[in-house]
Chains A and B, each alone.
Chain A
């Protein structure tokens, strides 16, 4: 009886490990391949070297695409935070029918195909003079990032005790003072988590950016994708990706440990 239990436990753990390895296989290949001494992809590496990291540190084009990605992600996340906090408050306090409808709209970018949205935007803005502009790209990324922020901030508000607002008012605070001194400080951890989430989603986004970014404003994912289609795999790109993966890993560990943020993924 006990042996059967241990056997089934062992098999389960084995199956779980196999699936986990499959899940992480590409990332492992990317990390491993970045240390290959030669100029082609090889995992496990034929020779070990960090030369690609050295090359990565000085490659103008890739570095500028990284800078572009960071720029878009930070501006878009910031704007999204500013827009989503009042919107989330309205979703909690506003009239039922309207808020339930608006919630569906705000969450839609996750469920509708990016490729369709991309073509639509390209067509609609194609004839206007904002096409290819930084502003348009940021606006699209704000929409992209919003569902994550709404989700996370909404969850913070669900846990917020609104009686605290009544208490502040009874003590003489105006609605604005109540928001700034009581509500906002208490939901700010949620806002930070949402912002970090959103930032990373924006940073790694490919399809929308592919369609509407200007030809002189390439983001990192777009650059890597284009190179892959034309030249195949380049270990220097693997080096960049490894760095990104490591940064993401560190942030994920903090996010999971402090805020259990994986619950916002389904």
Chain B
């Protein structure tokens, strides 16, 4: 690790507005050519981080390093960090060509070279023919590509994308997701995506930084975060439908899940060696099996409250001890609301969290397949 320089580095970044501390000691490194997703709910501070990197905000503490150089004191218009805004922010009174040329003019690139670079940027995003059009004549997807072309033209070292897929309709989203990823790989430009959509982050990010309440909760590859979440927040934020948290109680030799005693401790595997206490057992909906009748292995009894047939999969919502959970199965079953059901829990894939702190105390070994 030593000696490697990152393209973008955030060191001990803190920021408060009036009496509200929005960012608390944020640390982040982004490798050259990497696409990293900043994921978090609204209010988590991710937009603040974006604006700090771009230079629209001044931090209270900490350093921002661009290619090894501290840019804290460099004003926004001199940082050469490209921003693609959520509403694209194309200049409505300029043509596509003039929009893309704008940054080059500001950077005092001579006219000859400007023309060439505009052409190049537009062809990279596939809009060579659209130079003379005005933004309002373009579709949403095309406008986004112009916004990206603007950034490409100025040869920014880092590109920031603010919620790139949120303005697009569902169908377009999937297509644009793939295109953006391909474009980023082709350009090899270091990119930071800010989003609240976990699907966006999972599919686009080489790594994900999950933010909540001004802290980075966990930083890592998407599947790492999914399979080995660092705390309850990360576990609950990734995955739809969200992870189930079952009450786990350990007392001496006895183990209870949702107040149901586990009769054969051997089934529990590593769970039986947990110290005494209350825990949350995190089991994802797809790591459960629905049973019409109980069998010898540990089965959680439950009442089915709702069944949703989605075609490729079925979601079974059930309650156990007045708490609601969800099971996801690919089988199309004849389950009915109000019926009694039993569920196997895949302990090998479950994570265990301390009830009070929410921290993960045990997560399964990394799957050799990912």
**Is A173 part of the binding interface, using a Cβ–Cβ cutoff of 8 Å?**
yes
Interface string of B73-86 (1 = CB under 8 A from A): 00011111111010
**Is B199 part of the binding interface, using a Cβ–Cβ cutoff of 8 Å?**
no
| Cβ contact within 8 Å between B82 and A172 | no
Q: A164-B91, A166-B83, A167-B89 are in contact. List 15 more A-B contacts (CB 8 A).
A: A166-B54, A166-B56, A166-B85, A169-B76, A170-B54, A170-B77, A170-B82, A171-B77, A171-B102, A171-B154, A172-B106, A172-B154, A175-B77, A181-B102, A186-B93
Which residues on the B side are within 8 Å of A161 (C-beta)?
87, 89
Which residues on the B side are within 8 Å of A175 (C-beta)?
77
Which residues on the A side are within 8 Å of B78 (C-beta)?
172
User: Would you list which residues of chain B between 128 and 177 have a CB under 8 Å from chain A?
Assistant: 150, 154
In Å, the complex CA distance between A171 and B56 comes to: 12
Q: Chain B residue with minimal CB distance to A185?
A: B93
**Is A121 part of the binding interface, using a Cβ–Cβ cutoff of 8 Å?**
no
Main secondary structure of the interface of B (DSSP, over half): loop
Which residues on the B side are within 8 Å of A100 (C-beta)?
none
Which residues on the B side are within 8 Å of A164 (C-beta)?
89, 91
Which residues on the A side are within 8 Å of B150 (C-beta)?
167, 171
Contact count A vs B, C-beta below 8 Å: 58
| Chain A: minimal CB distance from B107 (Å) | 5
Q: Chain A residue with minimal CB distance to B109?
A: A172
Between B77, B79, B150, the greatest number of chain A beta carbons within 10 A of the residue's beta carbon is seen for: B77
Q: Chain A residue with minimal CB distance to B76?
A: A169
23 contacts between A and B (CB under 8 A): A163-B87, A166-B56, A166-B85, A167-B150, A168-B91, A169-B55, A169-B56, A170-B79, A170-B81, A170-B82, A170-B83, A171-B103, A171-B150, A171-B154, A172-B78, A172-B80, A172-B107, A173-B77, A173-B102, A174-B77, A177-B106, A186-B92, A186-B93
User: Would you list which residues of chain A between 51 and 88 have a CB under 8 Å from chain B?
Assistant: none
In Å, the complex CA distance between A172 and B92 comes to: 18
Q: Chain A residue with minimal CB distance to B154?
A: A171
Give the interface size class of chain B: 20 to 34
Which residues on the A side are within 8 Å of B76 (C-beta)?
169-170
Which residues on the A side are within 8 Å of B93 (C-beta)?
185-186
Q: Chain B residue with minimal CB distance to A167?
A: B89
Q: Chain B residue with minimal CB distance to A165?
A: B89
In Å, the complex CA distance between A161 and B90 comes to: 10
Given contacts A163-B85, A167-B83, contact A172 B91 (CB under 8 A): no
In Å, the complex CA distance between A161 and B154 comes to: 23
Residues of A within 8 A of B (CB-CB), count = 18
Which residues on the A side are within 8 Å of B77 (C-beta)?
169-175
| Cβ contact within 8 Å between B89 and A163 | yes
Which residues on the A side are within 8 Å of B80 (C-beta)?
172
In Å, the complex CA distance between A258 and B223 comes to: 56
Q: Chain B residue with minimal CB distance to A164?
A: B89
In Å, the complex CA distance between A86 and B78 comes to: 25
Which residues on the B side are within 8 Å of A177 (C-beta)?
106
Which residues on the B side are within 8 Å of A174 (C-beta)?
77
A-B residue pairs, 7 tightest by C-beta: A172-B106, A171-B103, A167-B89, A170-B83, A163-B89, A169-B77, A173-B106
Given contacts A166-B56, A167-B89, contact A172 B83 (CB under 8 A): no
| Cβ contact within 8 Å between B107 and A167 | no
**Is A192 part of the binding interface, using a Cβ–Cβ cutoff of 8 Å?**
no
In Å, the complex CA distance between A182 and B99 comes to: 11
Interface string of B56-82 (1 = CB under 8 A from A): 100000000000000000001111111
Q: Chain B residue with minimal CB distance to A166?
A: B56
